[in-house]
């Protein structure tokens, strides 16, 4: 398991640096802009008042007052969009964790080595979990570095909380995509479906603040339980539920991986025939 864990981490260093440094740079500069916001408050309030409420809803705000509090600012400027932005990483990494190598033929080789399916699965899952933590850890460090450039009244520990919530929601999308990749015949389809569910969840959750008929649907969506930047004021237990569901999906993916056949390179296409999926026959 440790070999696969190390191997997954080795393959993820590009993702860690790419995502971590990019989001970190965004966070660092965003912290610095907080003070300039206060200087231009009157003008911004006027501007925001003219925005349609639907637009504000997509940025996690429901009024101008929010933008001028640390929690509201962090939410609207950064954390509201992160489940979708970093969710892309979660969906891609989750759907490709095993199915990617399966489709390019590498898994056919690795599975011939004396590594149990469980060890392979959990080695890679642990690699994904640590990679995600490393990306968010780098981003958090940049935020903490940014505290010194702003008068925002927030501590490093308080800043950990929204990252915990963000970790849980991205892990959930990753786990869901991993599960889909074990159930569906191609990685591409799993990634696409995972992405559609993620974006649809974001839209419904955002619009539900304005449309009561969507409110009931939103209650069943994971983004309802994502605390965003408001977590700096106190973290509730919702993150644990999100993480729990993420683990539930990974457990389901594990069960499927233990039972299913490993495809060979070139397999993994959809073939529709009277609503039946037929796998390509290997040589």
Partner 1 sequence: MTDTIILAQSLTKNYGSVQALRGVDLEVRKGEIFGFLGPNGAGKTTTIRCMLDMIRPNGGTLRVLGLDPQKEPVAVQARTGYLPGEFAFEGRLTVEGALKYLASLRGDNFDWGFVKKLAERLDLDLKPQFKNLSKGNKQKVGVVQALMHRPELLLLDEPTAGLDPLVQQEVLKLVREANENGTTVFFSSHILSEVQEIAGRVGIIRRGVVVETAGVQELIQKSLRRLRVRFAAPVADGALGQIPGVSILSQDETSVSIQIEGEMDALVKALAKYPVQDLESERPSLEEIFMAYYEEE
Residue ranges binding partner 1 (CB under 8 A): 3, 7, 11, 104-106, 108-117, 259, 261-262, 264-266, 276-283
Using the minimum distance from each CB to partner 1, give the nearer residue, 55 or 278. Answer: 278
Using the minimum distance from each CB to partner 1, give the nearer residue, 211 or 265. Answer: 265
In 3D space, the residue among 1, 262, 253 whose CA is nearest the CA of residue 106 turns out to be 262
Are the CB atoms for 232 and 165 separated by under 8 Å? no
Using the minimum distance from each CB to partner 1, give the nearer residue, 39 or 261. Answer: 261
Q: How far is the CB of 186 from partner 1 (least distance, A)?
A: 15
Q: How far is the CB of 180 from partner 1 (least distance, A)?
A: 20
Are the CB atoms for 31 and 61 separated by under 8 Å? no
In 3D space, the residue among 76, 64, 32, 24 whose CA is nearest the CA of residue 229 turns out to be 76
Using the minimum distance from each CB to partner 1, give the nearer residue, 64 or 119. Answer: 119
Q: How far is the CB of 110 from partner 1 (least distance, A)?
A: 7
In 3D space, the residue among 19, 138, 146, 135 whose CA is nearest the CA of residue 70 turns out to be 146
Residue 261 to residues 68, 109, 137, 228, 283: CA-CA distances in angstroms? Answer: 55, 14, 37, 40, 15
Using the minimum distance from each CB to partner 1, give the nearer residue, 63 or 105. Answer: 105
Using the minimum distance from each CB to partner 1, give the nearer residue, 33 or 279. Answer: 279
A 10 A CB-CB count for 276 gives 7
Q: How far is the CB of 6 from partner 1 (least distance, A)?
A: 9
Output the furthest CA–CA distance in the chain (Å, rounded).
Answer: 71
Q: How far is the CB of 126 from partner 1 (least distance, A)?
A: 16
Q: How far is the CB of 15 from partner 1 (least distance, A)?
A: 13
Using the minimum distance from each CB to partner 1, give the nearer residue, 115 or 141. Answer: 115
Residue 68 to residues 34, 54, 130, 152, 276: CA-CA distances in angstroms? Answer: 8, 19, 34, 10, 55
Q: How far is the CB of 262 from partner 1 (least distance, A)?
A: 4
């Amino acid at each position: 398991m440790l070999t696969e864990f190390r191997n997954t981490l080795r393959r993820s260093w590009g993702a860690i640096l790419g995502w971590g440094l990019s989001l970190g740079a965004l966070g660092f500069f965003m912290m610095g802009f907080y003070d300039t916001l206060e200087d231009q408050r009157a003008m911004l309030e006027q501007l925001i008042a003219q925005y349609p409420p639907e637009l504000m809803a997509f940025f996690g705000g429901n009024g101008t007052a929010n933008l001028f509090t640390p929690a509201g600012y962090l939410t609207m400027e950064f954390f509201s969009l992160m489940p979708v932005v970093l969710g892309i990483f979660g969906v891609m990494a989750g759907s490709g964790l095993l199915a990617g190598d399966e489709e390019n033929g590498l898994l056919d080789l690795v599975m011939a080595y004396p590594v149990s399916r469980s060890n392979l699965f959990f080695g890679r899952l642990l690699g994904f979990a640590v990679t995600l933590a490393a990306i968010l850890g780098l981003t958090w460090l940049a935020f903490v570095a940014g505290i010194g450039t702003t008068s925002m009244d927030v501590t490093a520990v308080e800043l950990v909380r929204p990252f915990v919530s963000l970790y849980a929601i991205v892990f959930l999308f990753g786990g869901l995509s991993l599960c889909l990749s074990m159930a569906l015949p191609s990685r591409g389809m799993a990634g696409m479906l995972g992405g559609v569910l993620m974006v649809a969840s974001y839209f419904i959750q955002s619009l539900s603040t304005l449309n009561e008929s969507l409110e009931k649907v939103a209650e069943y969506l994971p983004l309802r339980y994502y605390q965003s930047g408001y977590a700096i004021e106190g973290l509730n237990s919702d993150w644990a539920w999100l993480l729990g569901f993420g683990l539930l999906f990974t457990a389901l993916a594990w069960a499927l991986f233990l039972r299913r056949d490993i495809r060979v390179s070139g397999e993994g296409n959809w073939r529709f025939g009277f609503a039946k999926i037929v796998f390509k026959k290997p040589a």
